[in-house]
Every structure is written in C-alpha cells, then in structure tokens.
Amino acid sequence: MSSVTIPPPECMLRPLEVPFRYLFGPGPSNVPPRVLAAGGRGIIGHMHPEMYEIMNDIKKGIQYAFQTQNNMTIAMSGSGHAAMECAVFNTVEPGESVLVAVNGIWGERVAEIAERMGANVHIMVKAPGGVFSNEEIEKALAKHKPVLFFLTHGESSAGLAHPVDGIGDLCRKHNTLFLVDAVASLGASPIFMDQQNIDILYTGSQKALNAPPGTAPISFNERACQKMFNRKTKPVSYLFDMAHLSNYWGNDGQPARLSFGPISGLLCLSHQYLVFVFPQGLEESWRHHREVAGYLWKGLEDMGLKLFIQNKDLRLPSVTTIAIPEGYNWREMLQYIMKHHNMEMTGGLGPSTGMVSVRGMLKF
C-alpha cells in the first residue's frame, strides 16, 4: 500500500501564471522590474553580517522617508496591518484608555485591534473623509485621558490627507502618545515625524513605496520607547514584541543580534531601493505625486465626474476617490474597467463602501 493517500493536486502541474494588471486600487501598486529583481538576487541567512548591513541601510532609508532620527526604526515582517498591531500591542496595556479618530475604515480597524487586546477604547467619529479640528481633538484628549491617540494621515478609503500639524503638541500636553498611520500616504504626501511630534509612525511597502507587500516600516520615538519598555505586562504578541524586534534590528545596543524576517521582501525594500524611490529626494516625490494627481483630478472633473473630497488641499495625492455617479452600479463599473482596460480600481471600504470608487497611482 502506498504511504501517500492524497494525490498531488493537478494545479501543481500547471505553470504559475500572474497576469499583468494596472494596479490602480489603494495598494498593492505595480512594482518596478528593478525592485522585483532585487528580491530575486538570492537568499542569505537572516543572521549573516551582510544581511545586518542591508537592514542597517533600510533603517537609514526609513529614517529619511519618515524624516526622523529615531533609533527605534525598523521594517516589520507583514503588511501594514502588522505595523498597526505592533504599534498598539507595544504601547498599550489592557485596561488603558485609547482614543481613535474614525473617519473611514482604518480608524475602525485600529479601534477593533485595541479593543481585542483589552484596551478601554473611545472613538471620535466623522463621516468618511471628515476632518477633525485640533479643538475637537484636544477636547477628547482632556475627556478620555488616553495613553494613545490614533489618526490616519492618508485615509485611503475616503481619499483624504488629514492635517497633522499641532496634534503632536496637544498630545504632549495631555501626556498621550500620538500614533499616525501613513500606509497610503508615505512618499506621496509630506509628513515629518520629528518636526510634527509624531510618537509612532508606520507605513506599508506596497503603496507609494512601490515594493511588494510584506514589509512594514515603523518608528518609535523616545517617549514611545519609555512607555513600551516600562510595561507591567508583556505585549500580547510574541512576533510583534518590540523588545525582540529592536534586538533583531540592532537597536538595543546588544552585540548579539537574533534575527528572522522576510529576506526577499527586505531586499526589495533595501537601501538602494528606498533611494531609488526618491531619486531626486522626498520633495520631488511629493511634487511629482501632486502634479500627476492634479492632472488626473482635472481629467476626471472635465469628464463630468465628481471627486469625493471637495477641498483640493485635503485630497490624498496617492489615492483619488470618485463619488459614484447617480444611477450607476459601482461593482459593474469596476468589473467593466477590469475586463476592458485591465485596470484594477476598487470600491470604498468599510463606511465608504458604495460611496466612492478608489483609484491609486502608478509611480515608476
């Protein structure tokens, strides 16, 4: 009798096919061939000195992209969600108060993550794309006395670039850590971690950074480190525990570095690549996104379409949202575009589902 009772599936005999698509949803984005090739250069051990060098370079690239001098800067294994969980799991302990600004799906998601780990979650809610004033935020900080306040910089489900200025100062005044999600905006819309007093900032590799999904840059400043390394309880996740991750990335000053991670993903996100993404620097990248987005917005409006975010200054340059025209079925439209133009666009997400159609941006 054969020891194998389950035959190999027929699909294993078929060659892998990955069709080319224009990825115009809010991520993943198309990845330039040069970046894809970086991931295929080979595998080395995650604890080889060359890998540590590459990780050190990636750290410098992230510090530049985030405009921060924070030592506690790493790229996590996982997509943007991994960084979201890492930020919350490490800085909050069960029972502590957390304040979340919800104006689209990402605030909802962070509120759920914080709830699941036993935090006492308070939400400030606006319709998708709504903007919270600094006065509203300060009132809520004073009322709920949170250890952490979360805001999405690039709310991709609504196409909003939320202003950030002044909020970090308010958080300091109220002894709260300021956590910002820049998954959809980093590299496309200006953000200055140190100058804006952002305590924790994260992004994802597969949006404006144009790398494959699977690595998520995140940075913690000194205030955040004070909180997360003086906890009474251990973070609920072993994988995302910054006590370990800081050692893997050589941030804890210990000579022994134990490491694991997605080698190929890190090669794609390597220092050379981060530099390649901003060939003429961050400012040029922001300018380029703004210019191309402006061209797109005008073209869409000339066609008679309405953009979901009316105030141009609040539109996210990397993700444009179009209000669904009256009488049209958004699912059918997106299917038509995919079938006839090979382009992926997506509907809204969470509270904006059926209100907008999202188109991300291609950047090579």
For ligand PMP, the binding residues (CB under 6 A) are: 26-27, 79-81, 106, 152, 154, 156, 181, 183-184, 204, 213
Nearer to ligand PMP, 30 or 152 (CB): 152
Least distance to ligand PMP from the beta carbon of 182, Å? 8
Contacts of 255 (CB under 8 A, 6+ apart): none
Please answer whether residues 164 and 201 qualify as being in contact, where contact means their C-beta atoms are separated by less than 8 angstroms.
no
CA distance 268 to 38: 5
Query: Least CB distance from residue 232 to ligand PMP, whole Å?
Result: 29
Residue closer to ligand PMP by CB (options 80, 93) is: 80
Q: How many CA atoms lie within 13 A of 246 on its CB side?
A: 17
Nearest residue relative to ligand PMP (C-beta): 80
Place of tokens 């035959």: 7
**Minimum distance from residue 81 beta carbon to ligand PMP (Å):** 4
CA 250: distance to chain centroid? Answer: 23
Nearer to ligand PMP, 211 or 242 (CB): 211
Closer CB to ligand PMP, 51 or 309, in the complex = 309
Using the minimum distance from each CB to ligand PMP, give the nearer residue, 93 or 155.
155
Sign of CA dihedral 343, 349, 353, 359: negative
Give the span between the Cα atoms of 220 and 350, in whole angstroms.
Answer: 28
CA atoms within 13 A on the CB side of 43: 7
C-beta of 51 vs 65, nearer to ligand PMP:
65
Q: Which helix (H) or strand (E) holds 76?
A: strand 72-77
CB of 29 to ligand PMP, least distance (A): 11
Please tell me whether residue 151 adopts helix, strand or coil conformation. strand
Minimum distance from residue 330 beta carbon to ligand PMP (Å): 18
Token pair belonging to 348: 């809204």
Nearer to ligand PMP, 71 or 203 (CB): 203
Nearest distance from C-beta of residue 256 to ligand PMP, angstroms? 31
Beta carbons of 136 and 185 less than 8 angstroms apart:
no
Provide the minimum distance between the beta carbon of 104 and ligand PMP in the complex, in angstroms, as a whole number.
Answer: 8
Question: For the packed helices 80-91 and 105-116, what is the interaxial angle rounded to 10 degrees?
Answer: 50
